[in-house]
Chains A and B, each alone.
Chain A
């Protein structure tokens, strides 16, 4: 039973356009959501996060939106750059005192074409 789902295995966009990566979750106990970026042969690196008490968090070109009623979040990257090409993982934590434990989705491979 996958509690965090990224239904798009891959996404391809043109440089300068917007990239939108989506993520759905099923566990209503999750109260913190994160996006990680991963290059080949490297570990995931933290990108941006959002608490369940907010619906938007912005950091430069990256914005995360949270829709709690739909149990859906999305990562917007604008403008997209070729260096953004990587696998993006959505992750969630919280509930039952185990907020150190991250539950990851399967990831979306983003390719930004020059």
Chain B
């Protein structure tokens, strides 16, 4: 597609529920990144995929968070047993290759997750 598509744009869920957030990167982009932006903060790195594999998942806050990219294109961020502190905007970005410095990133509009 023309840009990075994230669905849903908004998600409200109850504490303790499971959620999946989807990212459809720009066609042909091999690198994909997830960031989380909490209220009043800048985006924070979660995970980086090169192709199908997670090259760096050091930003995932705990084992309730998991992400996959089985065919090297669409990625899904999965959050189990959601907590109110998980409420944030989850941003996905992609780039043609891993471009040093982030200049080649294209971000999606994000999914706003609210845990009530």
| CA A89 to CA B91, docked complex, whole Å | 14
B1 within 8 A of partner (CB): no
Shortest CB-to-CB span from A8 to chain B, Å, is 14
Chain A residues whose C-beta falls within 8 Å of the C-beta of B99 in the assembled complex: 100
A34 touches B107 (CB 8 A): no
Residue tally, chain A, CB below 8 Å to B: 26
Chain B residues whose C-beta falls within 8 Å of the C-beta of A51 in the assembled complex: 101
Contact with B42, one of A4, A45, A98 (Cβ below 8 angstroms): A4
B113 within 8 A of partner (CB): no
A-B pairs with beta carbons under 8 A, tally: 68
Give chain A interface residues in 3-46, CB to chain B under 8 Å: 4, 6, 32, 34, 41-46
B100 within 8 A of partner (CB): yes
| CA A89 to CA B31, docked complex, whole Å | 22
| CA A101 to CA B99, docked complex, whole Å | 10
How many interface residues does chain B have, given as a range?
20 to 34
A44 touches B48 (CB 8 A): no
A104 touches B43 (CB 8 A): yes
Shortest CB-to-CB span from A38 to chain B, Å, is 9
A44 touches B107 (CB 8 A): yes
B62 within 8 A of partner (CB): no
Shortest CB-to-CB span from B101 to chain A, Å, is 4
Chain B residues whose C-beta falls within 8 Å of the C-beta of A89 in the assembled complex: 42-43
Residues of B bordering A, CB below 8 Å: 4, 31, 33, 35, 40-45, 48, 55-56, 59, 91, 93, 98-103, 105-110
Residues of A bordering B, CB below 8 Å: 4, 6, 32, 34, 41-46, 49, 51, 89, 91, 93-94, 98-107
